[in-house]
Amino acid sequence: YKLFRWFSAKQCALPTPKMTENGLGHREKVLNMNTMNPNVKRVEYAVRGPIVQRAVQIEKELKEGVKKPFSEVIKANIGDAHAMGQKPITFFRQVVALCAYPDLLEDNKFPDDAKNRARRILQSCGGGSLGAYSASTGIEVIRQDVARYIEKRDGGIPSNPDNIYLSTGASDAIVTMLKLLTSGEGKTRSGVMISIPQYPLYSAALAELAAVQISYYLDEDKCWGLDVSELRRAVEAAREHCKPRALCIINPGNPTGQVQSRQCIEDVIRFAAEERLFLMADEVYQDNVYAEGCQFHSFKKVLFEMGPEYSNTVELASFHSTSKCYMGECGFRGGYMEVINMDPQVKLQLTKLVSVRLCPPIPGQVLLDLVVNPPRPDEPSYATFIKERTANLEILAEKAKLTEQIFNTVSGIRCNPVQGAMYTFPLPYSSYSNHGYVIRAMCSHHPLSLGFGQRDGTHHFRMTILPATEKLKIVLENIRAFHKRFTEEFS
């Protein structure tokens, strides 16, 4: 029972595009590598890049019966819980089915709370159908539900539905905010601070917008913690060649799995206020906190607890999604953004901008509504909902622990605890690091880090903790064995 490890050796040859011949010989294309958008060329997005494409191809070959020294591809490259076997929350899917096909409202197999939710949502859809466009900022009752959810989460700090913009996953809203923030030319070009390591959506979007990426490094020795002195170093260095305008934070961390302390968040907010930076808080893993002593604190809550000096001035956009946490509904592309202290004129511009794309997908809006407004204790679906949610989160916590434990038994791999989120970002090291590591050695086009970024000379990789426990064990054991073989070979 052998498995393909996606970073395995010889499989990494890049597909070479074939040039098409045509009747007119070699007439140049109108749209070619010289005429296309140079910013798009600069975009890097290896999480779904050539290695993944190669893995898909290998899967296909396996299906077609091609013999390989393994029988399955376990993909640990992306936070895709359902693909790794996690089951959807029953209540959520019941309501989506009822909304999609309202004849089912007559069916007594569905619980009343699911039917009530579906009726309420359909009433707020144009023509009572998921097939109508919504307002570009999202269906109004759902924006209200989101605001109530935030208030409850943050211990009663008010949230205004007018500050809520529903989105096509969190990525959509993040790119929209980065777009708004980009201006200037040369030394006045907008700079945006992002952590290294980071989730590569950020670097990709900044490249596409030709904004300046300002990298600040997380401290691996402090469990990938964020240090304000490093933020200050980074912003000061950047002021020489751009105009720093925004600071992006991912908490819980992707790919680091770190959960920020309340103190850290306060320090970051103070820094943003002093340096006049727009804060972007990517909080899509807000329910994914596993480590004892760790707790999720939203930037919004901490901001408001710091008093009016901050809560009336610091501009903040925070992001959430249906794709992660206990539900893992990536395919629905649901999400929202809350904006705080945004210039009212800019808000009108934001509304105009999102209206060009008409509206976020309605099924994703529906799913988001269920996430922010799940069954209540007095409703029939409550018990099952809690059972399913708890089970999903407990299994994730178990796998977070398992991953850390196994990695740290490997001599030559160092791994911080997975405090939250869905990833581990271990550092394999050896005295032969001149050879680089694994893919870097074997497949020089694609550093193993896959574009998350890291300090020069280190060769981390990101791996999700999502495969089913038994498979996760196999993956970890294979990495352990591989690391041993690799170290021996190069010694």
Positions in 287-326 near its own copies (CB under 8 A): 308-309, 312-313, 315
Q: What's the min distance (Å) between Cβ of 36 and its own copies?
A: 6
Q: Which is nearer to its own copies, 235 or 259 (CB)?
A: 235
Q: Is 163 in the site for its own copies (CB under 8 A)?
A: no
Q: Is 345 in the site for its own copies (CB under 8 A)?
A: yes
Tokens in use for 247? 């600071």
| Rounded distance between C-alpha atoms, residue 350 and residue 163, angstroms | 11
Tokens in use for 381? 């679906």
Q: Are 32 and 435 in contact (CB under 8 A)?
A: no
Q: Which is nearer to its own copies, 123 or 491 (CB)?
A: 123
- Beta-bridge mates of residue 225: 219
Binding to its own copies, residues 350-379 (CB under 8 A): 352-353, 355-364
Residue 206 neighbours by CB distance under 10 Å: 26
Q: What's the min distance (Å) between Cβ of 62 and its own copies?
A: 15
Q: Which is nearer to its own copies, 13 or 346 (CB)?
A: 346
Q: What's the min distance (Å) between Cβ of 408 and its own copies?
A: 29
Binding to its own copies, residues 417-436 (CB under 8 A): none
CA-based R_g, the chain, Å: 24
| Rounded distance between C-alpha atoms, residue 326 and residue 387, angstroms | 11
Binding to its own copies, residues 91-130 (CB under 8 A): 93-94, 96-98, 100-101, 104, 107, 109, 125-127, 129-130
Q: Which of 62, 105, 135, 413 binds its own copies (CB under 8 A)?
A: 135
Binding to its own copies, residues 58-97 (CB under 8 A): 78, 80-88, 93-94, 96-97
| Rounded distance between C-alpha atoms, residue 449 and residue 443, angstroms | 12
Q: What's the min distance (Å) between Cβ of 53 and its own copies?
A: 8
> Residue 209 carries which side chain, given as an amino acid letter?
L
Q: Which of 69, 186, 344, 377 binds its own copies (CB under 8 A)?
A: 344
Q: What's the min distance (Å) between Cβ of 490 and its own copies?
A: 32
Reported in sequence order, the residue ranges of 375-485 that DSSP labels E, i.e. its strands, are 413-414, 423-424, 427-428, 463-464
User: Which of 94, 121, 122 minimizes the C-alpha distance to 110?
Assistant: 94
Q: Is 391 in the site for its own copies (CB under 8 A)?
A: no
Q: What's the min distance (Å) between Cβ of 318 and its own copies?
A: 15
| Rounded distance between C-alpha atoms, residue 65 and residue 376, angstroms | 50
Q: Is 270 in the site for its own copies (CB under 8 A)?
A: no
Place of tokens 């969190």: 170
Q: What's the min distance (Å) between Cβ of 23 and its own copies?
A: 5
> Residue 237 carries which side chain, given as an amino acid letter?
A
Q: Is 469 in the site for its own copies (CB under 8 A)?
A: no
Alpha helices in 340-468 (DSSP H): 344-355, 362-372, 382-407, 439-442
| Rounded distance between C-alpha atoms, residue 148 and residue 154, angstroms | 10
**C-alpha 186, offset from chain centre:** 30
Q: Is 136 in the site for its own copies (CB under 8 A)?
A: yes
Using the contact rule CB under 8 A, the part of the chain among 43-51, 400-408, 437-445, 457-465 near its own copies is 43-51
| Rounded distance between C-alpha atoms, residue 475 and residue 479, angstroms | 6
Q: Is 57 in the site for its own copies (CB under 8 A)?
A: no
Query: Which DSSP category does 78 fall into?
Result: S
| Rounded distance between C-alpha atoms, residue 107 and residue 358, angstroms | 33
Q: Which of 7, 165, 271, 278 binds its own copies (CB under 8 A)?
A: 278
Using the contact rule CB under 8 A, the part of the chain among 5-13, 171-179, 405-413, 452-460 near its own copies is 171-179
| Rounded distance between C-alpha atoms, residue 370 and residue 386, angstroms | 13
Q: Which is nearer to its own copies, 34 or 434 (CB)?
A: 34
Q: What's the min distance (Å) between Cβ of 481 and its own copies?
A: 27
User: Which of 308, 317, 219 minimizes the C-alpha distance to 260?
Assistant: 219
Using the contact rule CB under 8 A, the part of the chain among 156-164, 345-353, 398-406, 442-450 near its own copies is 345-353
Binding to its own copies, residues 242-261 (CB under 8 A): 245-246
Binding to its own copies, residues 15-34 (CB under 8 A): 17-20, 22-24, 27, 29-33
| Rounded distance between C-alpha atoms, residue 10 and residue 6, angstroms | 11
Binding-site size for its own copies (CB under 8 A) equals 109
Q: Is the peptide bond before 244 cis (omega within 30 degrees of 0)?
A: no
Mind giving me the DSSP string for 158-196? ---GGGEEEEEHHHHHHHHHHHHH----GGGSEEEEEEE
Binding to its own copies, residues 186-215 (CB under 8 A): 190, 201, 204-205, 208
Place of tokens 């670097």: 203
Q: What's the min distance (Å) between Cβ of 407 and its own copies?
A: 25
Q: Which of 11, 171, 258, 464 binds its own copies (CB under 8 A)?
A: 171
Residue 31 neighbours by CB distance under 10 Å: 9
Q: Which of 342, 395, 410, 441 binds its own copies (CB under 8 A)?
A: 342
